[in-house]
């Protein structure tokens, strides 16, 4: 289908160390189209972050293929994958990974500068996104000077600055109270919908999963369709 953004074909992941082999994911098949919002639930340790790491090329699958807009990205080397990811996939990590030595504005514009956007244009874009995410008056602050919810919003701003086709968000409302969970969920969906992005959202929150157009869970290494 032409509007497919990413396709996972028979994706499997085993971690092999000296004494044992841990099978985490087996035969995962998923097709994400433009504007799909996909939620992935599952108990702690089941393989949700592992799956997002495979999609973003932070880790390689044991077998299977990852096709992004008709391009097989499964075996890209680290350098090619970093370039590809910067342009095409926005990541909101489970533990933010904001750079402590940069203020929020500098953190947010970093992926845009990496792609070669002039600083003036990157700043203008960051201002626009920060307005939507209510971060404008925190842009000069460093990560150590802001709250957890503000860090989460900054991580979302950084993930969307290059207008990637796909956002992968790993428990973006984890560790927040109900009020801030709702605010961040609202903002994330607003930014995804207003830019026609696709979203793969890992979450333990049933309410948040229910907002997605398609729901899945990982159980016993398999991706289970919860839509029917």
Q: Using an 8 Å Cβ cutoff, are 86 and 162 in contact?
A: yes
Among 3, 10, 22, 190, binds ligand ATP (CB under 6 A): 22
Among 49, 107, 152, 203, binds Mg ion (CB under 5 A): 49
Among 10, 15, 207, 210, binds ligand ATP (CB under 6 A): 15
- Partner from Mg ion, ligand ATP, none binding residue 50, C-beta < 5-8 Å depending on class: ligand ATP
Q: How far is 205 from 30, CA to CA, in rounded Å?
A: 21
Minimum CB–partner distance for residue 163 and ligand ATP (Å) = 27
Of residues 146 through 165, those in contact with ligand ATP by CB under 6 A are none
Residue 97 in the binding site for ligand ATP (CB under 6 A): no
The 3-state DSSP class for residue 159 equals helix
Q: How far is 98 from 58, CA to CA, in rounded Å?
A: 17
Torsion angle, alpha carbons of 112, 117, 121, 123, to 10: 30
Of residues 24 through 53, those in contact with ligand ATP by CB under 6 A are 24, 42, 44-50
Q: Using an 8 Å Cβ cutoff, are 90 and 170 in contact?
A: no
Among residues 42 and 149, whose Cβ is nearest to ligand ATP? Answer: 42
Strand partners, 216: 40, 225
Among residues 12 and 163, whose Cβ is nearest to ligand ATP? Answer: 12
Q: Which residues bind ligand ATP (CB under 6 A)?
A: 15, 22, 24, 42, 44-50
Q: Which residues bind Mg ion (CB under 5 A)?
A: 48-49
């Amino acid at each position: 289908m032409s509007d497919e953004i990413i396709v996972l074909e028979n994706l499997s992941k085993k971690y092999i160390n000296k004494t044992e082999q841990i099978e985490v994911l087996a035969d995962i098949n998923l097709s994400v189209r433009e504007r799909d919002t996909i939620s992935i639930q599952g108990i702690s340790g089941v393989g949700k972050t592992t799956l997002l790491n495979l999609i973003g090329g932070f880790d390689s699958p044991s077998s299977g293929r990852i096709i992004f807009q008709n391009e097989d990205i499964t075996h890209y080397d680290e350098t090619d994958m970093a370039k590809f990811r910067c342009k095409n996939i926005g990541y909101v990590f489970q533990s933010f990974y904001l750079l402590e030595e940069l203020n929020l504005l500098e953190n947010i514009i970093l992926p845009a500068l990496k792609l070669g956007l002039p600083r003036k244009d990157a700043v203008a874009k960051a201002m626009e996104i920060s307005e939507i995410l209510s971060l404008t008056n925190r842009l000069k602050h460093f990560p150590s000077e802001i709250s957890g919810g503000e860090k989460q919003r900054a991580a979302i701003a950084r993930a969307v600055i290059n207008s990637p086709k796909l956002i992968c968000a790993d428990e973006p409302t984890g560790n927040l109270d109900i009020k801030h969970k709702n605010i961040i969920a609202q903002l994330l969906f607003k930014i995804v919908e207003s830019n026609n992005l696709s979203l793969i959202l890992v979450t333990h929150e049933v309410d948040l999963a229910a907002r997605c157009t398609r729901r899945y869970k990982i159980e016993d290494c398999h991706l289970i369709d919860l839509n029917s």
